[in-house]
Structure 1
Amino acid sequence: MASSEPASSVDGYLLDNARPEAGTRFDALSELFDPSTFRHIEQLGITSGWRCWEVGAGGTSVVTWLADKVGPTGQVVATDIDTSWIAGTAGGAVKVLRHDVGRDAPPEGGGFDLVHARLVLVHVTGREQALRTMAESLRPGGVLLLEDADPALQPRICLDEYGPEQALANKLRNAFRSLLASRGGDLAYGRKLPRLLREAGLDDVRADAYFPITSPACDILEAATVRHVRDALVAADLATDTEIDTHLANIATGHLDLSTAPMISALGRRP
């Protein structure tokens, strides 16, 4: 979240930061998606002195990268409901705040050159309010960059379902998507971002999509995610312990060619 992990289990968020698997997920998400995120931000011309808001920061990779870019004359405000993973980045150019973007007013001061959220709004039940909050916190000319998955656009984790191992992986991915939907996740949110940015009053809206088809980081992310939600899958009668153990063993072979849902990156500029 990165990598962005925006809410707690108390709020119904399926992938809460409190679980030990969260750190592994942050690292894998960073490896998979940081290059794309950094490319989008660099194309905006980020430089010393910028004031940035990293929403639902989750892990540290984007926060520390932004801090390096804005330098001592700039500021990075890093927020999350659970700030335990980013607390160590506070100081210097980084200010860490506990904040619920779906409910709270923007951080004091506003006037951000850049507001960025990755894998946040797809999970936040108050996503409409959250998007308005972020758009309204921009200075004139500031940019909102939202990056969210669209699991409904590409629902398979194994694109090439040629055997029982791949079929099981796709079955468990569908089960995971069912859990996300039951917790208020919008599985088709990513594709809506360009329209939603325009409706929020932003101009110069652009978007693209990216997803890896196979990578060691995909294997790490899937194993950590399945372990994270294992109890919920079994409790909802969406998978058995045997199926989960088999799938984890299949992942360990490195032969599944696991992909991710498409990541839609959309940006718009405040007039």
Structure 2
Amino acid sequence: MTRTHGYLLDNRQTEASQRFQALATLFDPTTFRHIERLGIGSGWRCWEVGAGGTSVVSWLAKKVGPTGRVVATDTDDSWAASVARPPVEVRVHDVGVDEPPGDGFDLVHARLVLSHVPDRERALRSMAGALRSGGRLLIEDADPALQSRLCPDEHGAEQQLANKLRHACDKLLAKRGADLAYGRQLPRLLREAGLRRVEAEACFAIASPACAALESVTVGQVREELVAAGLVSDQDIERHLANVTAGVMDLTTAPLVSAWGRKP
């Protein structure tokens, strides 16, 4: 990872597990609802891409049962000890570079992954190509440009500071190569990848305790880079984190766009 490229929110940082927990609270119900709608059942073969958080992998393993298979991949497998047992197979894998870890999958899923992958086009083709005929692809990614505020109701100094921090974080993400408008492109990209029956939906929580938890750990992960880049001061960050802890603001997330389709 360099200063100008690579995933900003390194999953090897100490705050990563707390961040994964907050993301699971916020987005697992949506993810599970979509996968249920796609018909997951016993014996399915699934590929979970960028599986740094284990909640989706564990849920998939229960759904496919002992006759199924869940291939969980990520560029770092330090998180895998708790799930690396049948039917789960863990592999170190870069979806934007490496060949798929097999083919004939009934389901391929990635959440909050592709917008950070340098060669997103190749990654999406790889995921679609790994499906069997009739297999389902579900891609979920954020679109900060659709809703760029941490506090949509910007009525005071605390909210203004919070939005300043959010915009600063977005600048760091963009500098690292993240596509901040990726989510809205997903329906078109799935159709261009040859999928059919493409649909999409967006969601984001407002005033959830998990939003505050996610904000605290995210700012903690990028604090040094924010200050080093001159985007905010250390005093700004201290004041913002105190405001988050005090619970005086209604925080939200960037919209999560979920898009799905089937391989002919």
Q: CA deviation at 1:86?
A: 2.3
The counterpart of 1:128, out of the listed 121, 138, 148, is: 121
Match of 2:92 in 1: 98
Given the alignment of the two structures, is residue 61 of structure 1 paired with residue 45 of structure 2, yes or no? Answer: no
Structure 2, unpaired ranges of 5+:
none
The answer to whether the aligner puts 1:270 opposite 2:258 as a matched pair is no
- 1:147 pairs with 137, 140, 143, which one? 140
| Counterpart amino acid of residue 244 in structure 1 | I
Letter in 2 for 1:74: G
**What residue number does 1:190 align with?**
183
Q: What's the counterpart of residue 15 of structure 1? A: 9
Q: 2:170 aligns with which of 161, 174, 177?
A: 177
CA RMSD of aligned residues (A): 1.0
The residue type equivalent to 2:98 in the other structure is D
How big is each residue's C-alpha offset from its partner over 1:93-122, in whole Å with a ceiling of 9 and x where there is no partner? 0000000000000003x1100000000011
Identical pairs, percent: 67
Q: Please state whether the residue corresponding to 1:141 is helix, strand or coil.
A: strand
Distance 2:119 2:130 in 1: 17
Partner Cα distance (1:40, 1:12) in 2: 29
Q: 2:247 aligns with which of 224, 248, 254?
A: 254
When the two structures are superposed, what TM-score results if normalisation uses the length of structure 1? 0.95
1:159 equivalent to 2:164? Answer: no
Q: How far did 1:9 drift?
A: 6.4
Taking the aligned partners of 2:2 and 2:96, their CA distance within structure 1 comes to: 15
Q: Tell me the CA shift for residue 88 of structure 1.
A: 2.3
Question: Residues of 1 paired with 2:76 and 2:57: CA distance?
Answer: 15
Instruction: Letter of the 2:190 partner, please give it.
Output: L
- Alpha carbons 2:6, 2:116 under 8 Å: kept: no
Provide the TM-score with structure 2 as the length reference: 0.98
- Aligned partners of 1:249 and 1:155: how far apart in 2? 21
Question: Match of 1:25?
Answer: 19
Q: Aligned pair 1:107/2:101, yes or no?
A: yes
Q: Does 1:50 align with 2:47?
A: no
Letter in 1 for 2:35: I
CA distance in 2, matches of 1:120, 1:9: 18
Distance 2:80 2:243 in 1: 33
Q: SS of 1:122's equivalent?
A: helix
In structure 2, what residue type is equivalent to 1:156? R
Q: CA deviation at 1:12?
A: 2.0
Q: How many residues align?
A: 263
Q: Which amino acid aligns with 1:57?
A: A
Q: Secondary structure at the match of 1:91?
A: coil
> Structure 2 matches for 1:201-220, cutoff 5 A?
201-220=194-213
Correspondence for 1:117: 110
Q: Check conservation: 1:205, 1:269, Cα contact below 8 A.
A: yes
Cα offset, 1:135, TM superposition: 0.3
What amino acid is aligned across from residue 78 of structure 2 in structure 1? S
Q: Give the Cα–Cα distance (whole angstroms) in 1 for the partners of residues 142 and 237 of structure 2.
A: 24
Amino acid at match of 2:85: G
- Any conservation in 2 of the 1:51–1:112 contact (CA below 8 Å)? yes
Aligned to 1:36: 30
Structure 1's unaligned 5+ residue stretches are 1-7
CA displacement at 1:87 relative to structure 2: 3.1
CA distance in 1, matches of 2:239, 2:53: 29
Task: Say whether residues 1:221 and 2:214 are aligned partners.
Answer: yes
Q: Please give the alpha-carbon distance, in whole angstroms, between the structure 1 residues aligned to 2:81 and 2:200.
A: 31
Q: Which amino acid aligns with 2:252?
A: S
Residue 83 of structure 1 deviates from its aligned partner by 1.3
C-alpha contact 2:191 2:198 (8 A) present in aligned 1: yes
